[in-house]
């Protein structure tokens, strides 16, 4: 089987190429550190040196192939899920999210999990969340300090965590959730060096790796306690939160009911992925608006007029300029051929969101913040994919964009935003995301 495109061929059968992708020969640990902490500079250099396809070796023993050609990336996203395993490609997340996470399973197991979770994020559910999100957004921005610098990222994290707690559990208060709220902040606040400890049991006995393991253990205790309590509830059918939905659907299905471990893994996935990525996207959005008076003025008018189309364009442009996650991953289950190169089974192919978004071929003046790119016509298909693509596209993408637009409107309706410093903040690696190095520090002035 060959996947034909206008410029390339990805061959899944009758692979004839013998040449494997080129790449640097640095030690694995050095490549891992460069990739984890300095990819913003290193990957463009590698692309210039090796071309559209190049290979890296990353801890703990992964061979990954970066892809930057849009046609090849489209073919990967459209390829059979039996060949391109996204769950195995996301193996780095397994220590935090567990074996059963929708992000870490493949084929039938993944489809079952996605089918169970999808109703919580479809169109009808999104419409039902609007009032709740608006209420939480307006309450959050009323608490923002005036006339003094603060971290926009810290505040957007607080907001998105409250939202996802309400969506997942139906409530966001109580001693157990108060403690969970505090601990989840520690779970997401880790850098590339700490990630290495996820796969090294010896490191987990000391220092920050031990503290992380203890925090994770306590988070699990809280989640299992919440699951046990919810199983005893007699009104599950009347509740619309994700945990109750999972228990209700599981009980009504012909398939075996979800175990506590399966429930835990889906809940922690939603809690972590469902608030950190959106919070970071919002922080980058405010960071860019604060430094662009013209874009800020137009976005403020849009907020006043209820023009959510333009506010959505602002968020999309921030995600283009600062993709929260720089790559998506697919582990290939058999040899494939990309162009004239063989990708052996077991390698992980990584479509590079960051490199495609920064390519002037697709996005003229790619370093400029220009929301107008998304107002009248979107960029060419396949050149903007911050939520991934294909059947594994993030199931919460619509929810994230709705949440971002509502929050942005709440901020701009109430505050004028300026930067703490004129110099832009650089991206910093935080777990698998890329965040503003200083927290997107801004100053807000209440609008009269």
Looking at 63-72, 109-118, 184-193, 362-371, which range is the least confident one? 184-193
β 427-430/2-4 pair status:
unpaired
36-58, pLDDT tens digit by residue? Answer: 889 999 999 999 999 999 999 99
- Confidence bin at 253 (pLDDT 50/70/90): low
Determine the pLDDT at residue 60.
80
Domain extent listing, the chain:
2-446
Residues 2-446, CATH architecture: Orthogonal Bundle (1.10)
CA distance 243 to 137: 23
In the block, residue with structure tokens 């403020």: 300
How high does pLDDT run on average in the chain?
91
Looking at 93-102, 107-116, 195-204, which range is the least confident one? 195-204
Picking from 90, 84, 67, the residue whose alpha carbon sits closest to that of residue 432 is: 90
Cα 309 vs. chain centroid, distance in angstroms? 22
Sheet holding 330-332, edge to edge: 53-58, 62-67, 348-351, 330-332, 84-85
343 phi/psi in degrees, rounded to 5? -110, 110
Mean pLDDT of 107-112: 93
Quick one: CA torsion of 22, 23, 28, 33, rounded to 10 degrees? -150
Torsion 274-199-46-389 (CA) sign:
negative
Q: Taking the model in full, what pTM does it have?
A: 0.92
Cβ neighbors of 1 (< 8 A, separation 6 or more) are 11, 12, 13
Long-range contacts of 423-428 (CB under 8 A, 24+ apart): 424/287, 424/291, 425/287, 426/40, 427/40, 427/322
276-322, pLDDT tens digit by residue? Answer: 999 999 999 999 999 999 999 999 999 999 999 999 999 999 999 99
CA distance 145 to 182: 21
- Confidence bin at 7 (pLDDT 50/70/90): very low
Determine the pLDDT at residue 59.
83
- Confidence bin at 211 (pLDDT 50/70/90): confident
Mean pLDDT of 243-258: 79
């Amino acid at each position: 089987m060959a996947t034909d495109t206008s410029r390339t061929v990805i061959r899944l059968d009758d692979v004839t190429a013998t040449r494997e992708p080129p790449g640097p020969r640095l030690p694995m640990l050095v490549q891992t550190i460069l990739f984890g902490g300095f990819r913003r500079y290193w990957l463009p250099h590698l692309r210039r040196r090796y071309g559209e396809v190049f290979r890296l070796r990353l801890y703990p023993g992964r061979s990954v192939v970066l892809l930057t050609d849009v046609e090849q990336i489209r073919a990967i996203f459209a390829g059979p899920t039996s060949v391109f395993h996204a769950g195995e490609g996301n193996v780095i997340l397994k220590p935090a999210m567990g074996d059963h996470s929708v992000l870490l399973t493949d084929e039938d197991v993944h489809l079952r999990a996605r089918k169970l979770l999808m109703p919580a994020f479809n169109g009808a559910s999104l419409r039902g969340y609007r009032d709740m999100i608006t209420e939480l957004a307006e309450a959050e921005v009323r608490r923002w300090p005036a006339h003094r610098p603060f971290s926009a990222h810290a505040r957007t994290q607080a907001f998105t965590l409250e939202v996802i707690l309400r969506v997942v559990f139906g409530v966001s208060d109580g001693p157990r959730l108060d403690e969970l709220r505090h601990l989840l902040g520690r779970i997401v606040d880790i850098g590339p060096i700490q990630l290495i400890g996820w796969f090294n049991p010896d490191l987990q006995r000391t220092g920050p790796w031990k503290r992380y393991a203890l925090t994770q253990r306590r988070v699990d205790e809280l989640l299992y306690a919440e699951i046990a309590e919810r199983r005893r509830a007699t009104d599950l059918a009347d509740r619309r939160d994700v945990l109750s939905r999972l228990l209700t659907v599981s009980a009504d299905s012909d398939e075996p009911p979800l175990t506590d471990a399966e429930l835990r893994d889906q809940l922690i996935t939603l809690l972590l992925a469902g608030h950190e990525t959106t919070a970071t996207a919002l922080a980058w959005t405010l960071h860019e608006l604060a430094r662009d008076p013209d874009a800020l003025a137009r976005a403020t008018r849009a907020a006043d007029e209820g023009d959510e189309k333009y506010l959505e364009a602002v968020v999309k442009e921030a995600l283009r300029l600062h993709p929260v996650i720089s790559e998506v991953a697919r582990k290939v289950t058999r040899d494939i051929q990309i162009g004239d190169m063989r990708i052996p089974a077991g390698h992980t192919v990584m479509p590079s969101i960051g490199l495609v978004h920064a390519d002037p071929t697709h996005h003229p003046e790619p370093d400029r913040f220009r929301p107008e790119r998304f107002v009248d016509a979107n960029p060419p298909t396949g050149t903007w994919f911050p939520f991934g693509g294909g059947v594994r596209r993030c199931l919460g993408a619509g929810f994230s964009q709705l949440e971002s637009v509502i929050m942005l409107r709440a901020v701009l309706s109430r505050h004028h935003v300026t930067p703490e410093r004129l110099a832009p903040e650089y991206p910093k690696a935080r777990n698998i995301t890329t965040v503003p190095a200083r927290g997107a520090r801004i100053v807000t002035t209440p609008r009269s």
